[in-house]
Structure 1
Amino acid sequence: MPDTNAPARIIDGKAFAEGLVGRVTGAVARMKEKIGVVPGLAVVIVGEDPASQVYVRNKGERTLAAGMRSDTHRLPASTTQAELLSLIAELNADDGIHGILVQLPLPAAIDANAVLDAISPDKDVDGFHVVNAGRLAVGLPGLVPCTPLGSIMLLRDALGDLSGLHAVVVGRSNIVGKPMAQLLLAENCTVTVAHSRSRDLPALCRQADILVAAVGRPEMIRGDWVKPGATVIDVGINRVPSADPAKAAEGKTRLVGDVAYAEAAAHAGAITPVPGGVGPMTIACLLANTYAAACRALGHEPERL
């Protein structure tokens, strides 16, 4: 049993992600040496959203650093849905590309669901395709969304066997909440999915041995919502004004999660910080998914990472 009087252990997602990227890099090098294949990731971005441009650049740099092929397709905001679908069809047919990622958000004139559904499920390294969602739901191998995949890795590393633990997931999005619940069920947890319509959300959270916050609302989960000794996974990344009034007046900001960190850390047994918790795992898992997709395309079993 956890010592509920001890300070919460910080779950260092940055360190774990660096280790995972190192293992992926080694596996990619061995793949290239043995069979002469380099996993390829294509990232498609439409428009000039500044945050998306930064994310895409980081993904490209990390992909190349891991020894993989990185193709970035930068399309103008005037790109039509038909033009984007045509590019995805070309990438689906390209044997040198094993993973396809379309950076969201897309311009309002483009149906994001239609675009994501057009990606081959076997190249859908974001894990958003309905086929991959179905594979996850019924326990078949498939590509899993990167953020929940990274979260479950951190939980296994922090707690070992998750069997029998009560997990409460706050948030029901297709990107995090629902796949997170499926992954926890696969680990033999008892899972409650809570959301904006849930009654007495604080009471539900207090039942959790594992509390996953994925609602996109800054510091919504308060410290007294956390069961003593619980493990808290904070998926939220929210930019808010600086805590220093003078800096806030200058427009300075800071990153916070969906959990009031200092409050929650006084109750939790272990907790992910923001930044430095789940965030770094997302790109690491994107690289792992690209490697796995390349292996499956070639009929090889991926190395255990």
Structure 2
Amino acid sequence: MAQLIDGKKISNEILEEITAEVQKINASGGKKPHLAAVLVGDDGASLTYVNAKVRACEKVGFDSTLIHLPEATKEEELLQKVQELNDDPQIDGFIVQVPLPKHIDEQKVVDAIKPEKDVDGFHPSNLGKMMLDLPTMVPATPKGILLLLEKSNIDTVGKNCVVMGRSHTVGTPVSVLMSRNKNTGNSTVTVTHSRTKDLAGITSQADILIVAIGRPEFVTGDMVKTGAVVIDVGIHRVPAPEKKSGFRLKGDVKFDEVEPKASYITPVPGGVGPMTIASLLHNTLIASQEQ
């Protein structure tokens, strides 16, 4: 039986640390950190995420602003909104929630965000600094994964770490962070993806398996080594007519099959998800202190 890595509990500890920092700022008469989120359209999952971010801001004492734009918003209108947020001295950091509608070029929007306000850590300048191990905004989900490992006292040094997925939001940055010469790091990292041959052969060698493949319940029990640490980044709404909401949340890992073999595993929900939000708020705190 695997030990559950409780992302809710660990993220609450981080949020408490952030709250204490905000109280110090308030006591010294400083400006509260202010996070803004831009949402285009009405994607259900995106709406859930953004609302959770707004609630987390309230919890730690941040100011927050939600800018909800219609699906039909033109690319130039969104870029104009990004420019306004870049120029607004009240806003310390902001995110533009993805996915964006098809007619908007996501990379163009990311490139337009001021790197020091890019609390998602996706700007090319921030990703480049991360590659060079310079102080910067680290993407929120990879940062959250490293904090989960660190705060669960999981030894990563010299371990064989397999990352499934090569996105610039999770897979690629987390592979860089895990190979770094740091206490939580120093792993030997293999990145796998949809073109990898003998995928199960590679994943079943992993001491630490980080799954960000974007397919519900893709990783089955036979793909995992006994005693592995399994970090499931996926989150999918799967129809569940018996539930009031009409759906249930599943990860990229077939939990019931993998959990008995793993030494540690993150649940979905309640694993990586809350850590992404905590990391985003931590990035916002850093941005407010630097500005």
**TM-score of the two chains, using structure 1 as the length reference:** 0.89
**What residue in structure 2 maps to residue 153 of structure 1?**
147
**What residue in structure 1 maps to residue 63 of structure 2?**
69
Q: CA deviation at 1:202?
A: 0.6
Which of 22, 25, 42 pairs up with 1:28? 22
Q: CA deviation at 1:133?
A: 0.9
**What residue in structure 1 maps to residue 242 of structure 2?**
247
**Given the superposition, is the C-alpha separation of residues 57 and 294 from structure 1 closer, same or farther in structure 2, using an over 3 Å criterion?**
same
Distance 1:78 1:240 in 2: 27
**Given the superposition, is the C-alpha separation of residues 217 and 182 from structure 1 closer, same or farther in structure 2, using an over 3 Å criterion?**
same
Alignment-mate amino acid for residue 109 of structure 1: H
* Alignment pair present for 1:263 and 2:257: yes
Q: Give 3-state SS (helix, strand or coil) of 1:239's partner.
A: strand
Q: What pairs with 1:100-179 in structure 2 (closer than 5 Å)?
A: 100-179=94-173
* Alignment pair present for 1:11 and 2:9: no
Q: What pairs with 1:142-221 in structure 2 (closer than 5 Å)?
A: 142-186=136-180, 187-221=185-219
Unaligned runs of 5+ in 1: 1-6, 298-305
CA contact (8 A) 1:194 1:201 kept: yes
**Given the superposition, is the C-alpha separation of residues 235 and 108 from structure 1 closer, same or farther in structure 2, using an over 3 Å criterion?**
same
Q: CA deviation at 1:93?
A: 1.5
Q: CA deviation at 1:56?
A: 2.1
Between 265-274 and 48-57, the greater mean CA deviation after superposition: 48-57
Q: Deviations over 1:187-236 (max 9, x none)?
A: 11110000111110111011111000100111111112111111100111
**Given the superposition, is the C-alpha separation of residues 49 and 222 from structure 1 closer, same or farther in structure 2, using an over 3 Å criterion?**
closer
Distance 1:64 1:251 in 2: 25
Distance 1:90 1:179 in 2: 29
- Runs of 4+ off more than 3 Å: none
**Given the superposition, is the C-alpha separation of residues 221 and 54 from structure 1 closer, same or farther in structure 2, using an over 3 Å criterion?**
closer
**What residue in structure 1 maps to residue 90 of structure 2?**
96
* Alignment pair present for 1:233 and 2:231: yes
Distance 1:59 1:158 in 2: 24
Q: Deviations over 1:18-39 (max 9, x none)?
A: 1111111111121232351211
Distance 1:53 1:272 in 2: 23
Alignment-mate amino acid for residue 116 of structure 1: V
Q: Give 3-state SS (helix, strand or coil) of 2:242's partner.
A: helix
Distance 2:41 2:138 in 1: 26
**What residue in structure 2 maps to residue 301 of structure 1?**
none
**TM-score of the two chains, using structure 2 as the length reference:** 0.93
Distance 1:57 1:253 in 2: 18
* Alignment pair present for 1:286 and 2:280: yes
Q: CA deviation at 1:251?
A: 9.1
CA contact (8 A) 1:241 1:251 kept: no
The CA RMSD over aligned residues, in Å, is 1.7
Distance 1:278 1:58 in 2: 14
Distance 1:50 1:237 in 2: 13
Q: CA deviation at 1:280?
A: 1.2
Distance 2:55 2:26 in 1: 19
Alignment-mate amino acid for residue 84 of structure 1: L
**Given the superposition, is the C-alpha separation of residues 241 and 51 from structure 1 closer, same or farther in structure 2, using an over 3 Å criterion?**
closer
Q: Give 3-state SS (helix, strand or coil) of 1:114's partner.
A: helix
Which of 41, 60, 66 pairs up with 1:47? 41
Distance 1:132 1:199 in 2: 32
